[in-house]
Structure formats: structure tokens, C-alpha cells
Structure 1
Amino acid sequence: MKILVADDESTPALFLRRTLERLGHEVVVASNGLEAWERLQADAFRLVITDWMMPGLDGLDLCRRIRGRGDSSYIYIILLTAREGLQDRLAGLTAGADDFLSKPMDPAELAARVGIAGRIVAMQEELERKNVQLAELATTDGLTGLKNRRCFDEALTTACSFAVRCGYPLSLMMFDVDHFKTLNDSFGHPAGDSVLATLAEILRSETRDHDVVARYGGEEFTVLLPATVAEEASQLADRLRMTVRNHPWSQRAVTVSAGVATTGADLATGPALLEAADRALYHSKRSGRDRVTHHDSFQGEIASSHARDPMAL
């Protein structure tokens, strides 16, 4: 474990360093509270052992600063003190200390208290890992590993606001697997899932790192393309369509239809951009499938997604 020791007295600091290093820990020593605070900004420590009385920034103030950082990674704090009174202990706990170590220090007690700190830190790290996993599950589609609809909706709102504010174009592609229902009926849902997973990998591998690729729902996928004009987005959508068409599918040939929309005077919000791409996708479906339509390229009123004929998809 990486431990930060803060003590303005050289002899106790040397004792701590040598004892902790013999226990197998990596130790960094700061000669006062301010230096300890600076080291905490520059490096990651999970355990801080600090003296109470130090010039400039004492141990209580250092505890308060650590607790006020709001970091996701918890730092365990042991406060060194010769004070034994209840009020002193309460003051230390209120400031944010987790444990106390009496001065002069006993090596066996030091080892025991650091061992307790290590167990608590290990449990905290496991909790942090689980929280990260839960956060990923909340924003990730389980089948494809892409962003899910919830995450996409949030990204769309943010990207549209940024594009309008900064005057950058933002394009949105929507893809739908052609005749997906018949594929499932003919070869089973595992085969359909395999197609969706492969399509997700194609979209992910053929787009940029900062593009947002998501499974929108069922057999529909979306791709947000920041700083991408209509022509570039249409060309990319068609290249992806051809990649899907030419892929060596195991059961039968698979094709996709696509709709593309780009921000403009009439498309300045996420819902408007999404509806435009959806209409363009519907136009591709009604025009024969396996094709790309940009919202700006066709005329006439197209039925909204709420009025779709499910058998046409």
C-alpha cells in the first residue's frame, strides 16, 4: 500500500518510514501539513498517517481538506497524537480521522492499525470497482457492449447543445437491420443476436473514437457524429452499409437501411434531429431497403415514426 506520512519531527518520521517499509509498504514522507497536501494533489495515496501538531497546516486541518476534496477514492487517515482526552478524540473524528495512534509509537500497535487500515481500504476499493461496474451496466447494452438508449439520449442532448452553441455541425445516423424478424423466425434468436453483435462491432470499428455508437433498441443502431457535415455523414453511412452487405454472414446475407440527419436552422434540438433521422430511415425502408437517405435529400411529407407500418420493417 502507498502511504503518506506527515510529520514535522524527523525522528518519528524516520521511525514510521522504516517500520512501514519493513512491513512491505511504499512510504512517502512530508515534513509538514502543507507539503503533505501538495503531495496528495500530485499522487494517489490510500492511507495518510499525520501528526496532529504541525506548523502551517496541522493534522486536523489536513484531515478537513482531505475530506473536503470529494474524491471517489476514500483515503484512510490515522492521526498521531499524545492527547488522550475524549474531547480531543472527538475533535479528531469530527475533522475526518478514521483512527488514532498514540505517541510515542509502539511498532506492534502501528502494524496492527495499519493492517486494519489495509483491510478497510481493500473493501473500499472493491466497492469502488463494483460501483464502476454498475455505472457501466447502467449505460451499456448487454448484448452488444455499445452505449444503450439512455446513454445515447443524454449524449444527444449534450452534443446538440454544444453544436448549436459553438456553430459546429452534428450529424446523426440511424441503422435498421432489414427483414430482421424473418431472420429470427428462420434461424432463431441466437442467430439474430449474433447478427446484432457483429453489426455493433462493424459500427464501432469503422467510426471515430469520439463518435457515440449506441444500440437504440431492437435491431436499430444510432451513431452521433460531432463536427460532421451532411455529405460526410451520408458517405460514411453508405460505406458502413456496404461493409455490412459484404460481410461473410453465416446464415444468409444481411443488409441495413440508414437514415441520416444533420443539425441546421430547423434541426437544433436532440428530439428534432432524432425525428429527422428516423423519417429518413423510414424513407429508406419504403424505397426498397439496403440504402441510405439523408433527411435533406428527399421532399414530401413522410409519416412519423409513431405511424410506422410494422410489417414494412
Structure 2
Amino acid sequence: MRILLIDRDDMFSGLLASKMRAAGHDVVETRIKNDGLEQMISGKVDAVYFDPSPLNDPKAILYQVRRMVHNFPYLVLTGDFSRAQAIKAGCHDALRKPLDPEALTASLANGERMIGLIRRLGDESYDFPSSGGVISKSAFNQLFLSAMDRVGRYGENAHALFLSVSNYEQIKFDDGKYAADYAASRLAQMLVRLRRQSDILAQTGVSEFALLLQRPQTDTESFDAARRFADSLDARSEIASGGMTDVKIEVSLVHIPTGALDFYQETVIPAIGARRNG
């Protein structure tokens, strides 16, 4: 990532930049907020880590960013701010001072995940049509961006749950395109049956589907939903009935807007044809 650091604390900024560069990122440092804003307006920045001090409230700065920056970067508020405070102010996440190396590693991973997700969902070069209770990728992208905005404006909690046939290309190579598409279509049918009526389901890849989980009633509701979908795969042998290759299903729960991976599980469904021959 190309990362911009805006901080008057030279010691912290230098340490942060050093660790980011060691992790393979391109880093630009500045002490002046207006210079940082110009960098963001240029559209050549993927992520921004900034300390609003001497201001205690970063909202005035963030208002300028939202008004003037069209390609909105991944924003991390540094200083004595909690994640909830940063999100409420309009940022994606927070990084407390003094620097915790493990927290920085997690922050960078979350940023890369969220940036990649936004780019992929917003890629207009391909789409999947709405069909059978599953909406298109482009429609899901608009709802996803709206959920991001609502999280920042109203402090709502949201997650995106992704389920995919992770070895789709291997199945296609071993058993043919029909078997690979069959596994993906069976996964979609399962999701349509198991989702709640309020859950928005979309096709976001050739073999990937996503649910937008918004306004949960409890702190664990989204995690519980991810676990429920993952556990249900054990009883869905029909997903692997189209060929001789085992089907691998990945379940990933991504927090909005931080990009944190709150749940991940891979389930292997043995191929029915292979079991019969065995």
C-alpha cells in the first residue's frame, strides 16, 4: 500500500514509517495537515494514519477530507482514541499510542483487506445478474457502500459474510466447468434457503457469494450467523455431487468498516463420486 502519515510527533511517525516500510509498504510522512490533504486529493494514497492533535476532535479535518477527496482512502486515527471513537468520527479504525507492533500488523492487514474488497466490489468490468433471490455484484456494492456510510454516521454495526468455492479452478481443471459451476450453484441454493429474510445475498464472484449483515441485535449475532452457515456445510453433501473432486468452501466474516477478519473457516466436502468408488 501507499501510506500517508500525518503526525507532529516525529518519534512516533518515524517508528511507524520504519515498521511499515519493513512490511513492504511505500510511506510518505508529513507534519502539516494541509499538505496531507493535498496528497489525499491527488488520489495516490491508499491509507492514511493521522493524529489530529492539537485538536481533540478530528471531525473538522474529516469533514474536509470527505468534501474534497473523491477516492476515499482507508483512514486510521492515531492517538488516544478507541476503535468506536474513530469509527464514530468517520474513520475506518484507530491505532493507539504508544505503538503496539502487533496492533500495527493487524491494522495493516485489515486495511489491505478492506481496500481490496472495495476495489473488487467496485470493479465495473464484470458483474453477475440478479437471479433466484441473489442480487448482482453491482447492486451489492451500492448497499455495501451505504452500510459503510451508515456505520460512520450513526455508529451502526455491520459485517459482510463471504462464502466461496475456494478450489473452483481445480474442480474445473479436474472435472470440467459443469462440475465447478454445479458446486457454486448448489452453494447459492443453500444460502438462499438458510439466510434470514432480512439478509441481503449477492453473487460477488464466479464461485463467491456474500451476505450483508446489518444492525445486529447482539454483539455476537454476526459471528453466530457465520458459525451457523459454516456448520451447516457438514450436512450439504450435494454441493460435491457434480464430480470426483472434493469441494472446499471458505467462510469469511469481514467487519465493516475496519476490514477485520472476525471469523474464518474452510470446510472440505468429500466428493460423492469419490466416496462411491471408494
By the TM > 0.5 criterion, same fold?
Answer: no
Structure of greater relative contact order (alpha carbons < 8 Å, 6+ residues apart): 2
Structure label with greater radius of gyration? 1
**In proportion to residue count, which structure has more strand?**
2
**TM-score (norm. length: structure 2):** 0.43
